[in-house]
Amino acid sequence: MITMNGKLITLEPLVVDKHAKGYFEMSQDVLIHRYTGNTVPKNLDETIALLKKYEEYFINWMILSNETHKIIGILRLGKPEMENGVLVAGESEFLSSRYWRKGHMKEAKKLFYSYVFDTLSVEMLYADVWEGNVNSIKSLESYGYKLIETTAGIFAKTGKCTKKYIFSLSKEDYKLNAGKSCAESSYK
C-alpha cells in the first residue's frame, strides 16, 4: 500500500499504533455514524481492537487533512477476490461531519478509485447503504455507482427492519465518470 496525496487530504495506510488515538477522536463525531453500521469505540483500547479487526478484513487508509494533519476519516477496501472470473471488492468510508461538502471526500475517493482500479486491477466495487443515508447514496451515484439490488434487514442502531441498497461500480463506469472528479493528485 502507498500513501496518496491530494491538495486537501492525504490517504495514509493504516498503522494501528500510529493512528489509534486520532481515529478514536474522529470517530466520536456522532453524525458520521447515524446511518451506518459502524462500531463507535468508547475508549482507546476498543479503538485499537477495532482497527486490528479492520486489518483482518480490509485494506485501510486514514484520511488526513493536509491543513491540520489530523485524521478526518477512513477509506476501507474489502480484500479483493475473484468472483466469476472478475476481481471484485467492497468499499466503505466515513468522514468527520466538519469536512462534509467541502471536497475532502471527493478528493480522497478520486485517489482511492485510481489506485484500486489502476494499481490493484479491481474490476468491480460494491457498496451498501442503509435507507435514509441520502448523502452516501448521492456520493456513490456521483461516481457512477448503479443500484443493483434492494434488500431489507434489521438495522442494529434502531432495531427496525430497514431497506439496504446495494450498489456496484465497474472500472469501465468509473473511467467514464473520472473526468467529473476533482483536482490534481500525486502518489508517493
Residue-wise pLDDT tens digits, 121-173: 999 999 999 998 888 898 899 889 999 999 999 888 788 999 999 999 999 99
pLDDT at 77 over 80: yes
pLDDT at 182 over 80: no
d(CA 188, CA 186): 7
- Name the CA radius of gyration of the chain, rounded: 16
**Residue 120, C-beta contacts closer than 8 angstroms, at least 6 positions apart:** 77, 80, 87, 89
User: DSSP 3-state assignment of 128?
Assistant: strand
Nearest Cα to 63, choosing from 33, 100, 31, 35? 100
- This prediction's pTM: 0.88
> What backbone phi and psi angles, to 5 degrees, belong to 35?
-115, 20
pLDDT at 61 over 60: yes
